[in-house]
Amino acid sequence: MLEYDDPATDPAERLRCFIRDHELGVGCKLPAERQLTEQLGLTRATLRKALDVLEREGQIWRHVGKGTFIADSEAPKTPSIATFELGRQITPFRMMRARLTIEPAIAREAAVNASAEALAGMRRTIERAKAATTWHEYEIQDDLFHHAVAEASDNLLLLALFDQLNEVRRAVAWGSVLRETPRPSADHSSFAEHDAIHAAIARRDPAEAHDAMRRHLGSVARRLFAEE
């Protein structure tokens, strides 16, 4: 068994070993940060960097106000039969219309209720998206950004509604989107759009948060349908 407080061991690896040795399975909650810093011999800042690494790897996920949980990193989430059937019946255009109806309203609520921690979570996804070296990495962080906005609404019903919407989005047959570059360019429009959404929420400006999200989704729709 690994000595968790061994300074020669990479902090992220200490955390992986802790999870493995304690047999923490999918859905299990990690101990509080204060306990982990003591057991792993890490500072709070170093622990958070290790948590960031595992979150990027898909091994854990965070729920603001509830804690950090073990994710199913072995396989992508499979939509339910009902979600799959709905995804088959709805067109990409109607999917985007649904997003344009629902997500700006969620962003407006986020501007009213977002905590400092929720804002920090959004900022993490934005910076990781900008640092992505592949489109796949970018799309994961883009998905996490929109989830973070919904989580920032501090409304479990809105979060559940977003999650259902997102499941259907994954099930919709979008077709192949051809990429001309291996990764997003530095001036990829979503970067500035995500910054604008985050800034409006941080300023506690519900109307601007709503409009910034609507502009962003409109931009996404124009790019998608222009490529068809």
pLDDT on residue 100? 97
The alpha carbons of the chain give a radius of gyration, in whole angstroms, of 19
Per-residue pLDDT of the chain (228 residues; tens, 9 = 90+): 445 555 556 788 889 899 988 888 877 889 999 999 999 999 998 998 889 888 777 788 877 667 888 876 544 455 566 666 777 788 889 999 999 999 999 999 999 999 998 999 899 999 989 998 888 889 888 988 999 999 999 998 999 899 889 888 877 856 556 677 889 999 999 999 999 999 999 999 999 999 999 999 999 999 888 754
Q: Does residue 72 contact residue 84 with C-beta atoms inside 8 Å?
A: no
pLDDT on residue 7? 56
- What are the Cα distances from residue 14, in Å, to 35, 39, 87, 150? 14, 10, 41, 31
- pTM (2 decimals)? 0.68
Cα angle value 81/178/72 (rounded, 5°): 40
Rounded Cα–Cα distance for residues 48 and 68 (Å): 11
Domains of the chain and any CATH numbers? 11-70 (1.10.10.10), 81-226 (1.20.120.530)
